[in-house]
Structure formats: structure tokens, C-alpha cells
Amino acid sequence: MKIRKGQQKFKKQLAPLWNNQCALCGIELPALLRASHAKPWKDATDEERLDPYNGILLCSNHDVLYDQGYITFDGTGKIHISSEIESIDYVKFSIHDKMRVSRVEENKKYFKWHKRNIFKDNKNKREQD
């Protein structure tokens, strides 16, 4: 129950930072939007768990890709796509390698953490932006 209430508060604070829409595709339907942690609840401190900059607003599909490490963002907001997703399939997931999110400086440390610890791509893990 505490986690659910914390997640609701997190989404309420995070959503305006991303203009209440998916940071990648622009979907605005609230029921399809997820407040996705860059540094997951289990790995975060109490302060980080509720820090709205430790997250990104994504539609359901992009949230799962992010949560499972198939996409990530570097410190500049540029998307990185796991080599486990074939480039021919990018269109199925509504992603491409030129995508970028409009992050703010406070997102940077969390995005970098996600890229180093969650992202499923050995060749890019060595890059430490």
C-alpha cells in the first residue's frame, strides 16, 4: 500500500515535467501513461524513490521497453536501443536511433545510472557518457 501511494505521488509530480505525455511518442491518454523510475524502487533511497527527476513519463509500450532495459537514455537524453532488438523491428516498437527526450540536468544522474545498470547492451555499457 505504501509503495502504491508513493507511486501515485511520484506520477503526479513527474507528469508535468514531461508535459503530461509520453516523452517518446507524445501519447497523452492518462490511462496509458506510466511514471517509470530510472533507478528502480528496490535500488533507490527513500529520497530517490519520490524524486520526480528519477523518472520519465512513458506510454505503456515504451515503459516496458525502458523498465526491462531494451531502451535507455544517456546523459544528453539520446535514446540507446538494445542490440537484442533487431533494427528491422524498430518500427513495431515506434522507436528509432535518432530519438531524444528533453531531459533536464536533474535527470542526468538517473539516466546514466539506468544506462549502466539496467540497459541490456554489453557494447554500450562500457560507455560512461
Cell of 28: 497523452
pTM equals 0.88
Q: What integer is the mean pLDDT of 48-77?
A: 96
In a domain, 69, yes or no: yes
Predicted local distance difference test score (pLDDT) of residue 122:
58
In a domain, 127, yes or no: no
| Torsion angles phi and psi, residue 62, rounded to 5 | -70, -30
In a domain, 112, yes or no: yes
Predicted local distance difference test score (pLDDT) of residue 9:
86
In a domain, 45, yes or no: yes
The percentage of the chain sitting over the pLDDT mark of 90, rounded to a whole number, equals 82
In a domain, 126, yes or no: no
Q: Whole domain around residue 103: which residue ranges?
A: 2-120
pLDDT tens-place string over residues 5-40: 667 889 999 999 999 999 999 999 999 999 999 999
CA distances from 65 to 6, 79, 84, 109 (A): 22, 12, 11, 20
pLDDT band of residue 123 (cuts 50, 70, 90) is low
Number of domains the chain contains: 1
The percentage of the chain sitting over the pLDDT mark of 70, rounded to a whole number, equals 89
Q: What integer is the mean pLDDT of 89-114?
A: 96
Predicted local distance difference test score (pLDDT) of residue 121:
81
Predicted local distance difference test score (pLDDT) of residue 124:
47
In a domain, 125, yes or no: no
In a domain, 129, yes or no: no
In a domain, 99, yes or no: yes
